[in-house]
Amino acid sequence: MASFAKDITQVKLPRPTRVKNETPAPLQITAEQLLREARERQESQILPPYQNITDPTELSDYRLRLRKEFEDRIRLPGPSTQVWLNYARWEESQKDYARARSVWERALQADYRNHAVWVKYAEFEMRNMFVNSARNVWDRAVTVLPRVDQLWYKYIHMEEMLGNISGAREVFERWMKWSPDQQGWLSFINFELRYQETARARDIYERFVLCHPKPSSYIQYAKFEVKGGEVARARDVYERAVKNLGDDEELFVAFAEFEERCKEVERARVIYKFGLDRVGRGEELYKKFVAFEKQHGDKERIDDVIVGRRRVEYEEQVRKSPLNYDAWFDYVRLEEEEASSVGDKERVREVYERAVGNVPPANEKRYWRRYIYLWINYALFEEIEAEDVDRARQVYRECLKLVPHASFSFAKIWLLAAQFEIRQLNLTAARKILGNGIGKATNKDKIFKKYIEIELELGEIDRCRRLYEKYLEWSPDNCYVWCKYAEFEISLEETERARGIFELAVSQTTLDLPEVLWKGYIDFEMSQGEVERTRALYERLLERTKHYKVWVSFAKFEAGEQDEDEEEDGIERKQECIRRTRAVFDRAYVYYKEVIPEMKEERSTLLEEWLNMEMSFGMLGDVSIVESKLPKKLKKRKAITGEDGSVEYVEYTDYLFPEELKASNLKILEAAIRWKKQKVDAFCNV
């Protein structure tokens, strides 16, 4: 039963017919042929029979029947406007104008907001020469629907066709009280001009620009005056437009072109410049100005136009983003280039003042990095370009007051301010600035270095020493400062002072670069020829670190004491140096072998250095001492497990030293003996 129901509900589609021949037919049928054939086969329309009315009774019956049909259609809910129009036209065709007028009035009662009904009603009156009735209909229409321009146009057109010019003017005046759009005002103006009423047209234009204070209105008014030859009036219209509207590109272009046509080139240039200053970024105005200067100006004026355009662009950029310091840099660079040729430095100062007035919102150094260079450039401009020393000094002071030194500081500002005072031969002020910088700045390194350099150039030794002491009080772990302080004393041939400084330095608990300090100390003692002191320093250094580089350096020091003299004393001294060198290497080898045997790579590197040293000794060297200790290099692989559980094999170099090789051989021999013993025991038990 279920299968039967399923068969009933299923829709069986016919099996698609397979097209056996897919080649196009020799005779193709177009869409046009199909439409033409459909038109030819269409059945003829059934028209009602034509009635020939012969007597008044039949005519009255016909009229009664049609009126009843129209009335029935009107009584239907929501009758369309077309029913009323057809009804009124039929009454008009029967020459029954009173009934037709009654139908129109009923239609207006049904839908008086439909302006098409008013238009058809008035055209009916006009068509049948009922002028006063038509005028009455138009008057009612514009009273009910004053915002429909078509009614006013039709009304005015009828009065003008009848020759009633004063009546048409009165209709226009009534319309203008409703403040229509621009086209309505222009129609009124054209109406007056058709009858040579120029004064009236001018008065209408005055009312027009008051009603529509737009650039296009003023431009049309000015063109009207130009057409009438009233250039002064046209200029007055443009000036009023600029005063009332001001910031419109189209208005300035039209005003400048008007002056250009009047051969007033300078006036046009002033208008263009004024427009660019007021409008800002106006593409069309700028293009017109460039074309104007190319036609009437010289190269300098064209350059002024380009500079003005770039100035407007930069103003727009800094207006949108006052904290865009790159835009301020470009703007200032433009003004400086312009000032170098024109000499207007006040404009540059104004831009700089506006730029530095945009202080970064947060006290974070990354926001101030670009901003601070505005102050630097400002001060350099005042000093170099403007040659105003007092203003440059004031700029530096204001900048140093503005920077939040408690959070961060800029050593560059302190140094530039001090160098400025030095250039003005005001050494006291420079020292005061650098001293304040050391006291307030968070990063004092650059200030200390420059301050010491300045005092050293001036030959103030005591001041340099005090500065180094202050520097070390602030940063006692800075090995660079210790080395520089010692080098300073060495340059003054104060050997004991330099040695004392090095001793103080190496006694510090924490140092940032101790290897640099120790190297400087050792090099100093070596330069002084203090061999025992140098050897003692190496021993002290080895107490702190056993790095293989220290051992190698110590051995090279011992090897460097041999002379090149071939005499007996020279040979003995060379042998003593070689003995000391081998002793150092041997100590290092024993240390790496017994204390840290896992550092195989460092021990191998140490032996390679020892071997190279023995080879450099020539005939006095003995490479066999080192060769017996050299390891074998083995390439091995080790498994590395990743975070995801995957295993990767990485190659590495392993070192097998001679003592390890002997131990491995002994282990193999012991294993063989144990295996032999197990075999013998097993045989005996059997």
What was the pLDDT predicted at 564?
A: 43
Residue linked to tokens 């006692």: 476
CB count in 10 Å sphere of residue 675? 9
Q: Give pLDDT, residue 191.
A: 92
Specify burial of residue 83 (Cβ count, 10 A radius: 0-12, 13-18, 19+).
Answer: middle
pLDDT of 4 higher than 50: no
- Helix (H) / strand (E) containing 318: helix 299-320
CA distances from 606 to 189, 216, 478, 547 (A): 109, 94, 31, 10
Per-residue pLDDT, averaged over 175-192, amounts to 92
pLDDT tens for 569-584 read: 567 778 788 888 888 8
Return the axis-axis angle of helices 514-527 and 548-559, rounded to nearest 10°: 10
In terms of C-beta density within 10 A (0-12 exposed, 13-18 middle, 19 or more buried), how is residue 172 classed? buried
Residue-wise pLDDT tens digits, 405-434: 888 888 888 888 898 888 888 888 888 988
Which helix (DSSP H) or strand (DSSP E) does residue 406 occupy? Answer: none
Choice among 302-311, 484-493, 565-574, 675-684 with the minimum mean pLDDT: 565-574
Tell me the per-residue pLDDT of 199-229, one tens digit each, with 9 for 90 and over: 999 999 999 999 999 989 999 999 999 888 8
Q: CA 99, 105, 107 angle in degrees (round to 5)?
A: 105
DSSP state of 618: G
Beta bridge partner(s), residue 636: 652
Q: What are phi and psi of 632, to 5 degrees?
A: -95, 140
pLDDT band at residue 2 using 50, 70 and 90 as cut-offs: very low
Quick one: residue 229, left, alpha or beta (phi over 0 = left, psi -120 to 50 = alpha)? left
Q: 436 pLDDT band (50/70/90 cuts)?
A: confident
Average pLDDT rounded to a whole number, residues 176-204: 92
Q: What is the pLDDT of residue 609?
A: 82
What share of the chain in percent tops pLDDT 90? 15
Helices (H), 228-282: 231-244, 249-261, 265-279
Burial 116-146 (b: 16+ CB within 10 A, else e): ebbbbbbebbbeeebeebbbebbebbbeebe
pLDDT value of position 567: 47
| Of 49-53, 81-85, 230-234, the least confident | 49-53
pLDDT band at 7 (very low <50, low <70, confident <90, very high): very low
In the block, tokens 């300035």 appear at 252
Average pLDDT over all residues of the chain: 82
CB 106 within 8 A of CB 84: yes
Copy the structure tokens of residue 249.
């590109």
**Which residues is 653 bridged to in the sheet?**
635
| Sign of the four-CA dihedral 420, 422, 424, 428 | positive
pLDDT at 6: 43
CB 213 within 8 A of CB 194: no
Q: What is the mean pLDDT of residues 585-606?
A: 80
| Comparison of pLDDT for 561 and 360, the residue scoring more | 360
d(CA 66, CA 55): 17
**Total Cβ atoms within 10 A of residue 505:** 24
* Nearest residue to 332 via CA among 358, 352, 317: 352
**What's the whole-number mean pLDDT along residues 539-563?**
78
- Residue 647, classed as helix, strand or coil, is strand
pLDDT of residue 253: 85
Three-state DSSP state, 634: strand
pLDDT reading at 8 higher than 80:
no
CA distance 483 to 460: 19
Which has the higher per-residue pLDDT, 581 or 131? 131
* DSSP summary character for residue 20: S
> In angstroms, rounded to a whole number, what is the distance separating the alpha carbons of residues 124 and 136?
13
Residues 6+ away with beta carbon under 8 Å from 15: none
Mean pLDDT of 511-521: 84
Angstrom distances, CA of residue 580 to CA of 159, 352, 554, 558, 590: 133, 71, 10, 6, 15
**Which residue in this structure is represented by tokens 């500081």?**
409
Closest CA to 191 of 214, 209, 167, 207: 167
Residue identified by tokens 């460097």 is: 560
**Integer Cα distance of 323 and 317 in angstroms:** 10
Token representation of residue 667: 């282990």
Measured between alpha carbons, how far is 66 from 58 in angstroms, rounded to an integer?
12
Residue 626 has pLDDT above 90, yes or no: no
Which residues touch 482 (CB under 8 Å, ≥6 apart)? 472, 501, 502, 504, 505, 517
pLDDT tens-digit series, residues 234-266: 999 988 988 888 778 888 888 888 888 888 888
Phi, psi of 447 (to 5 degrees): -65, -45
What pLDDT does 139 receive?
Answer: 93
| Highest averaged pLDDT of the listed ranges 189-203, 310-324, 514-528 | 189-203
Residue 160: pLDDT over 80 = yes
Mean pLDDT score, 609-613: 81
Least confident of 119-133, 480-494, 650-664: 650-664
Region 159-163 average pLDDT: 91
Least confident of 11-20, 92-101, 345-354, 661-670: 661-670
- Maximum distance among all alpha carbons in the chain? 171
CB burial string 47-71: b at 16+ within 10 A, e below: eeeeeeeeeeeeeeeebeeebeebe
- Tokens representing 116? 């098409």
DSSP 333-353: HHHHHHHHHH--HHHHHHHHH
Dump pLDDT digits (tens) for 666-681: 455 556 666 666 766 6
